[in-house]
Amino acid sequence: MLKALIFDVDGTMADTEQAHREAFNWAFEQEGLDWHWDQPLYTQLLEISGGKERLLHYWRQQYPDRLEFNGHGLRDTIDRLHAYKTAAYEQAVRDGAVSLRPGVMALIEDAQRHALTLAIATTTSPVNIAALLRTAMGPDWQLAFAVVEDGLSAPRKKPAPDVYLQTLKRLRMDASDCVAIEDSANGLNAARAAGLKTVITPNSFTAHHDFSGALRVVPDLSGVTVDALNQWVTERSV
């Protein structure tokens, strides 16, 4: 029987990437950059996990030989852009720009009824997790999660397995006792590299990804219960 569920955040617990994209574009305006990440471009750029890594990847695409902007070095500019973006994203979430996806809260509550342990394994920044879950679950949201591993605590981003390996280590559980819930190919590959069976709930940014090896791919978590997850795990192990 499962002992723990490990949730990804962006795209899984909530459809946050539109709000991230808009926050990035606001940051570019503040910095006087004529960059604009539209939906198709951002869908491609999401193949790079981590906002700073995504910015660096795009910078190197746009200006392969440029190491500074407005007298600031590359790293400083990226750190400043990411700080602007994170502040804008946090405000948008506080203002109600995103809500939990269908079935997420019901599965969390069902897991609590079954005395399962809950954890978070994400590449996003800690302030983003807090902004989303404080708004969605209230100020004591952190009490629901035994472990939270994020973009700061696990700097090597998905598809590297680090964030999941660190979560399992802190849970003191074997991967076989847990299920990961993800939305993207990077997330699936990170979880599987850590030995985790993974349920995928795609979204508009990831629907085209390759989810081979997933325990299940479902449109969202509506109707997904702990009993259903145990059933899927049992079916897979026979």
Q: How far is the CB of 23 from ligand XBP (least distance, A)?
A: 8
How many beta carbons lie within 10 A of that of residue 55, not counting itself? 23
Among 20, 183, 197, 229, binds Mg ion (CB under 5 A): 183
Q: Which two tokens stand for residue 166?
A: 């660190």
Alpha carbon of residue 216 to chain centroid? 18
Stretch that binds Mg ion, among 21-29, 103-111, 124-132, 182-190 (CB under 5 A): 182-190
CB under 5 to 8 A by kind: which of ligand XBP, Mg ion, none does 159 bind? none
Q: How far is the CB of 12 from Mg ion (least distance, A)?
A: 5
Q: How far is the CB of 27 from Mg ion (least distance, A)?
A: 20
Residue whose C-beta lies closest to Mg ion:
11
Active-site residue (options: 8, 110, 162, 183): 8
162 is catalytic: no
Q: What is the DSSP string of 172-235?
A: T--GGGEEEEESSHHHHHHHHHTT-EEEE---TTTTTS--TT-SEE-SSSTT--HHHHHHHHHH
Q: How far is the CB of 90 from Mg ion (least distance, A)?
A: 18
Chain residues that interact with ligand XBP, rule: CB under 6 A: 8-11, 17, 20, 49-51, 122-125, 128, 151, 158, 187
Shorter beta-carbon distance to ligand XBP: residue 204 or 234: 204
* Residue 202 binds Mg ion (CB under 5 A): no
183 is catalytic: no
* C-alpha distances in Å from residue 208, one per residue of 205, 215, 235: 8, 17, 26
Return the ∠ at Cα 185 (arms to 179 and 190), rounded to 5°. Answer: 55
Active-site residue (options: 10, 110, 162, 183): 10
CB under 5 to 8 A by kind: which of Mg ion, ligand XBP, none does 20 bind? ligand XBP
The number of C-alpha atoms within 13 Å of 1 and in the hemisphere containing its C-beta is: 7
Q: How far is the CB of 85 from ligand XBP (least distance, A)?
A: 6
Dihedral angle of Cα 61, 56, 11, 218, to the nearest 10 degrees: 50
CB under 5 to 8 A by kind: which of Mg ion, ligand XBP, none does 150 bind? none
Q: Helix crossing, 226-237 with 104-113: angle to 10°?
A: 80
CA–CA gap between residue 110 and residue 126 (Å, rounded): 25
Of the candidates 149, 153, 178, 122, the one whose C-alpha atom is nearest the C-alpha of residue 1 is 178
Interface with Mg ion (CB under 5 A), residue total 6
Q: Which residues bind Mg ion (CB under 5 A)?
A: 8, 10-11, 183-184, 187
Active-site residues: which are they?
8, 10
